[in-house]
Amino acid sequence: MRHILFSIVLMVPLLSGGNSYAQDKPQLKLAPSPTPKIEPKTEGQEPVKVFTEEVRLQVVALDQFGHYDPTLEVDDVLVLEDGAAQQVRSIRRLPVNVLLLLDTGNQLGLKSTNVTRDVALRVVSGVHEGNRIAVMQFAEKPELLQGWTTDKSAANKVLKTKLISGKNSRLADAIAAAADQFKDTPAGTRHIVLITDGVEGPGGRTTLAKSLKQLNTIQASVHIISYTALARSALQGRNSAIKGGDGIQRDGNPASNPVANGDPTLPPGTTRTPSFRIGSIDTDLAMRRRRKEYERATRASENLLKDIAEESGGQVFLPDSTDDLLSEAEEVARDIASQYIVTYRPTRALALAKPGEYRKVEVASRRVGLYLRSRRGYVVPNNQ
């Protein structure tokens, strides 16, 4: 019995000493939780997630003479989102990602794949070293010819060797495929250079409305060199040849052809080239109808291309000659090189946005003589 009592007495100081050690031991301090963090849950409420959010806008800054302004500062820029002023956090320059999206469809022979290649080569030449380039062509379907690379010689090689003409141009499919290429690129660095007439061919897998919404979600600047004016000019030249019912073609400018095909018996400005008939179909009449339809389509597509460019903060160029088409390529490269990235944290959290929510953005200058251009709005990404 004494042995048992003695054991109990010995255990008491041991237990007491253990508690003393636990109290003297330094306590481990936990570091603050990284974002997103969970606020303490109160009874009857779900925990609230708090995200660190940022919107990046690509902004072109020009002086009163239309030249790039290299002195842009935070205090120079006013940003409104859905009419509410936002606090600009930073203005910076980052390497960019430029996707060349080249229309090689050629329904009526009014677009030249060789000219498109030359325009694209000039764009590549003007892109600064260290920036990434990708090349995609489209006709019946989009085809990625060159993935992202900083090697300009690699981009030039595929442009010189892999462009192939097709028939129809499926623009909606091409825009959707182009948008997919930017998934792993930083926001604010995305540029698309689109060379096209904008005329949508039949048989596509998606609609323009869907692909344009996808384009808006990635928030890329779209720079467009359009064939529309050049194609209409070519059509007018072809339509100036008016054919009479006697099967004789009469040129709209007789003085330009005083002796037709070496036959002095014909009136000036005429040739013996009758329209052909297959069965009861007048092929010349059918071709004129196709050209008229195409001309109407280019006028409609021109408005669409303007909307795409202005919505994204880019520009659309409408050259009416091949020389102008080539010179606009250099202007596009300069425009890409002159863009800043303006960042702000929206006053309305992106995490609270509804799926597919669109937010209107306005960017204005606070400094006299400074002109700014940016996108008109953006679709909140689904992953916010």
Write out pLDDT tens, residues 54-74.
Answer: 999 999 999 999 899 999 999
Give domain 55-234+287-379's CATH superfamily: von Willebrand factor, type A domain (3.40.50.410)
**Average pLDDT score, the chain:** 81
What's the Cα-to-Cα distance from 313 to each of 50, 108, 260, 330, rounded to whole Å? 30, 31, 52, 18
User: Quick one: average pLDDT of 112-117?
Assistant: 95
Would you state the pLDDT for residue 304?
Answer: 96
Classify the phi-psi angles of 121: left when phi > 0, otherwise alpha if psi is within -120 to 50, otherwise beta.
Answer: alpha
Q: Is the pLDDT of residue 312 over 80?
A: yes
Write out pLDDT tens, residues 146-179.
Answer: 999 999 999 999 999 999 999 889 999 999 999 9
Q: Which residues does residue 282 pair with via DSSP β-bridges, in sequence order?
A: 277
Would you state the pLDDT for residue 132?
Answer: 98
Neighbours of 107 (CB within 10 A): 17
Q: Is the pLDDT of residue 138 over 50?
A: yes
Q: Is the pLDDT of residue 197 over 50?
A: yes
Q: Is the pLDDT of residue 193 over 80?
A: yes
User: Quick one: average pLDDT of 347-373?
Assistant: 94
Write out pLDDT tens, residues 315-354.
Answer: 999 999 999 999 999 999 999 998 999 999 999 999 999 9
The pTM score is 0.76
Q: Is the pLDDT of residue 310 over 60?
A: yes
pLDDT band at residue 241, thresholds of 50, 70 and 90?
very low
Neighbours of 258 (CB within 10 A): 9
Q: Is the pLDDT of residue 257 over 90?
A: no
Are the C-beta atoms of residues 275 and 284 closer than 8 Å to each other?
yes
Would you state the pLDDT for residue 52?
Answer: 57
